[in-house]
């Protein structure tokens, strides 16, 4: 009388498992598509040039010298990925070209919706002191000294 129950349950379990696997694959493919789209958008910001007028002055990554580059260690497709590049223009002014995902300081609000963010890029003018501070925290000693000159060796009492 109940002989049909066990085979029916097993078939139902098999179908459920197959459907769940299909759904997981579909979700994984959708997530991969989003990540690749994010990477493509960020790559355009990184590989392309950026020009901007700020305070009546022109800043252009194409005509300026790259001083150094820093990345935060996340993969480019990650929402937290960020890269900053310090530039010096022909007149000696420093500026930062920052690019990042939608969970970084470079994120931009989507125009179509209120609560959607996407990765973005920004040019940020810097004073020489700000550029030195940025370089001190992110570049190697050789990169720092190539731009700002050799530093004196520390002596007792120099800390702080």
Assess if residue 112 is contained within a domain: yes
CB 87 within 8 A of CB 73: no
CB 128 within 8 A of CB 136: no
Give residue-wise pLDDT tens across range 100-149: 988 899 988 777 666 778 888 899 999 999 999 999 999 999 999 999 99
DSSP reduced 3-state for 38 = helix
Count Cβ atoms below 10 Å from residue 104 Cβ, excluding itself: 20
pLDDT score at 61: 92
Assess if residue 77 is contained within a domain: yes
pLDDT score at 34: 58
Q: Which domain holds residue 125?
A: 36-148
Assess if residue 5 is contained within a domain: no
Reported in sequence order, the residue ranges of the chain that DSSP labels E, i.e. its strands, are 51-54, 57-60, 65-71, 82-88, 94-100, 108-109, 117-118, 120-126
Domain count of the fold of the chain: 1
Assess if residue 122 is contained within a domain: yes
Checking if the pLDDT of 1 tops 90, the result is no
pLDDT band of 30, cuts 50, 70, 90: low
Assess if residue 25 is contained within a domain: no
DSSP string for 109-136: E-SS-SS-EE-EEEEEEE-HHHHHHHHH
pLDDT score at 136: 95
pLDDT score at 159: 77
Checking if the pLDDT of 49 tops 90, the result is no
Helix axes 128-138, 141-148, angle to 10 degrees: 160
CB 96 within 8 A of CB 123: yes
Assess if residue 43 is contained within a domain: yes
Assess if residue 113 is contained within a domain: yes
Bridge partners, 117 (sequence order): 109
Checking if the pLDDT of 63 tops 70, the result is yes
pLDDT score at 140: 95
Assess if residue 40 is contained within a domain: yes
pLDDT score at 155: 87
Q: Tokens for 135, please give them.
A: 């370089």
Alpha-carbon distance 54 to 7, whole Å? 73
pLDDT score at 31: 61
């Amino acid at each position: 009388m109940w002989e049909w129950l066990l085979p029916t349950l097993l078939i139902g379990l098999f179908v459920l498992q197959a459907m769940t696997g299909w759904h997981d694959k579909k979700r994984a493919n959708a997530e991969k598509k989003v990540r690749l789209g994010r990477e493509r958008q960020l790559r355009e910001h990184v590989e392309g040039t950026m020009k901007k007028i700020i305070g009546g002055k022109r800043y252009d990554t194409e005509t300026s010298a790259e001083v150094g580059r820093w990345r935060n260690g996340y993969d480019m497709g990650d929402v937290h990925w960020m890269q900053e590049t310090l530039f010096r223009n022909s007149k000696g002014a420093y500026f930062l070209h920052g690019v990042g995902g939608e969970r970084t300081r470079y994120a931009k609000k989507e125009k179509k919706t209120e609560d959607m963010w996407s990765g973005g890029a920004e040019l940020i003018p810097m004073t020489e002191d700000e550029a030195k501070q940025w370089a001190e925290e992110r570049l190697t000693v050789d990169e720092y000294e190539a731009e700002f000159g050799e530093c004196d060796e520390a002596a007792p009492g120099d800390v702080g």
